[in-house]
A and B are shown apart, each in its own frame.
Chain A
Amino acid sequence: MKQIAILSGKGGTGKTSIAGAMGFIAENRAVLCDCDVDASNLPLTTASKVIKTSDFSGGFAAEIDYSKCVSCGICAKVCRFDAVIKDSGSYQIQKNLCEGCGYCSVVCPVKAIRLTPVVSGSLSLSTSRFGSFIVHADLHTGAENSGKLSSQVRAMAREIAAIEEKDLIIIDGPPGISCPAIAAISGADFVLFVAEPSQSGLSDYKRALELSQKMRIPSGLVVNRADINPEITELLNRTARQANSEVLGSIPFSDVFPRALRSLKTVPELQDCPTDILNTLKNLYHSITRPNTQGDYK
């Protein structure tokens, strides 16, 4: 099974548009998954029907049993996250600040505090218009542990791929380079970077590339809206080559991207998708799915 993660570092480079396009070209050969659990957009342009949804619990939070509590305040003293506040004589846990470390429950002299699971999002399985499954999730706003939800999205996608005997998983990654991004690419066979040719795009690409190198995952680069700044496009490609990352081509600026978005479709689905863009996307799909796409790593 080949798992391909699409990542960008910076948001807004066209990662989700490319992921949707790859999903459409793959038809029913792939399982898609959206690991941007903060702002899950891939299903907007690809999904047709939600099959099932389940609650996600990202961790625990402390809960006080007031029939036992003697208001001694030890819990508030030991909490490093300022999650215990005193309100008109009684101590209260602020669930949004509680990290679930359990320190308070261990030191409570009357055993009045226990840890309870917190529902902080949902995990869903949908079908796409082109016959594939899409695993996606929604983290409640302001919640923690999006990395863990990302891992669960990945795990469900692998499960579905195994049951349905699909040998390809396409992962739409989150922006950034910390735990959600790490969870989205760890164990992937290939990372496709989608970068835009700007100073910030270059800076973000370099940091994201460094992450994939640290994790020893082979990668490739596609530059979106390449003609907006040809010099930086060249700089991006040079950065990729120096890191033994594959240069997989460029996509010119085109209004077909925003138009596809507005009609809630993937780019290759539009009847008037320019031939050069369609071909670039098809070639990109073939490059990333061919069996031996490997850089110097692994």
Chain B
Amino acid sequence: MTITIMSGKGGAGKTTLSVSLALELAERGKHTLLVDLDVEEPNTGIFIDKQGDKRLEASVMQPVWNSALCSHCGKCTSLCQFHALVKLPDGVMIFPDLCHSCYACSDLCPVGALPMKPARIGEIVRYTAGNHLLFIEGILDVGQEISSVLVRQTRDIALSEDVEIRIFDAPPGTACAAREALNRSDLVIVVTEPTPFGLHDADLALKLSRASGKKTLLVVNRADGEFPEMEAFLKKENITVTATFPWIRELSQSYSEGKLDPKGFPGFYASLQTLAETILNSPEGAR
């Protein structure tokens, strides 16, 4: 089973819940793989006691201009919809950050002067993290503009691992990068916090998740006190809350130190148990 944990809003507690859930499922003897797909700001790994990294360079294919072969016909520059190639009197200039790797310029160059070559965009790292837990993270090089390709590559490597449960810690937001995570999942967990921002963004996350036709659970994190708008929200979305995680200052403190021990916080741990059981008892989990 593959689970995506997403939130729409950054800072709602995706990482806290992804790590806690992965630890809990591994402890229950399930072979679990935790995957950090927030390749722009990967920090799930901070909370994982991990060893034995295997690194894989992630790259995209981009055209490279071969001046010796070029006949200066200009076909490539008129083909490129992204204006990544410009024809100059003495050659072709390439803007790699505009390239979408569609291969049109390279395949259709009449003299083969634009071979495609790999260009590094980041790396994907795999670790073992205890008996039943594996951890994979994608890390985008700073300055790279397009992250969704690395999200997809990291996701696909994770999908090739032979485990019982995969947990994707999704990138924040609801744009293309988040979609890459959830469109290969069996179950989506939307994490929200009881604030207007939280609900606004959870609404977007639920829209994306439902548009993909995935079974979706809603969990509330950092609950402290009353938030009457929540009821109306649940009614409007026609969804129930699977688990509510309390706001605990000490937990925030231990999170800030890069430590997460769900068992140390009984109120939090009880909700985690509820969530884990709901997942394992769902039709998707029983498969």
Contacts and interface: CB of A to CB of B under 8 A. Distances in A.
Direct A–B contact present (CB less than 8 angstroms): yes
Interface of A: 8-13, 16, 36, 38-39, 41, 44-45, 60, 78, 80-81, 96, 99-103, 106-107, 115, 139, 141-144, 146-147, 174-182, 196-201, 203-204, 207-208, 210-211, 214, 228-229, 232, 258, 261-262, 264
B18 interface: no
A176 B256 contact: no
Contact of A10 (B41, B227, B249): B41
A146 B204 CA distance: 15
A78 B107 CA distance: 9
Contact of A258 (B40, B178, B195): B195
B118 interface: no
B41 A99 contact: no
B201 A41 contact: yes
Given A175-B40, A179-B145, 16 more contacts: A9-B41, A12-B12, A13-B11, A38-B173, A44-B200, A101-B104, A102-B79, A141-B211, A142-B211, A174-B173, A178-B140, A198-B257, A207-B40, A211-B143, A228-B253, A261-B196
A103 B252 CA distance: 50
Nearest to A201: B256
A106 B172 contact: no
22 contacts: A16-B197, A38-B8, A38-B175, A38-B204, A39-B197, A39-B204, A103-B102, A103-B104, A142-B175, A142-B176, A146-B175, A176-B147, A180-B175, A198-B256, A198-B257, A199-B46, A200-B15, A203-B46, A214-B143, A228-B249, A228-B253, A229-B257
Interface in B233-264: 249, 252-253, 255-258
B144 A39 contact: no
A86 to B, nearest CB: 20
Given A182-B145, A199-B258, A200-B258, A44 B197 contact: yes
Contacts of B138: none
The 7 A-B residue pairs with the shortest CB-CB distance in the complex, in nearest-first order: A12-B11, A11-B10, A199-B258, A101-B102, A38-B173, A198-B256, A200-B43
Contacts of A232: 256-257
A11 B102 contact: no
Contacts of A41: 9, 197, 200-201
Contact of A44 (B79, B144, B146, B196): B196
Given A203-B46, A214-B142, A261 B197 contact: yes
Given A102-B79, A141-B204, A211-B142, A204 B43 contact: yes
A75 to B, nearest CB: 12
B173 A207 contact: no
A177 B43 CA distance: 14
A12 B9 contact: yes
B154 interface: no
Chain B: number of interface residues, binned into ranges: 35 or more
Contacts of A100: 81
Contacts of A78: 103-104, 107
A101 B196 contact: no
A290 to B, nearest CB: 29
Contacts of A99: 100, 102
A142 B207 CA distance: 9
B175 A143 contact: yes
B144 to A, nearest CB: 6
Nearest to B9: A39
B10 A60 contact: no
A227 B125 CA distance: 33
A146 B179 CA distance: 13
Contact of B227 (A45, A139, A262): A262
A139 B175 CA distance: 8
B147 A178 contact: yes
B206 to A, nearest CB: 9
Given A13-B11, A39-B9, A258-B195, A228 B252 contact: yes
Contacts of B201: 39, 41
Nearest to A263: B196
B171 interface: yes
A146 B144 CA distance: 15
B94 interface: no
A188 to B, nearest CB: 16
B274 interface: no
Interface in B108-124: 108
Contact of B174 (A141, A200, A228, A262): A141
A264 to B, nearest CB: 6
B172 A199 contact: no
B208 interface: yes
B66 interface: no
Contacts of A258: 195, 224
A210 B103 CA distance: 32
Nearest to B16: A200
A80 B102 contact: yes
A113 B200 CA distance: 38
A196 B253 CA distance: 11
A204 to B, nearest CB: 4
B51 interface: no
Contacts of A107: 108
A13 B108 CA distance: 48
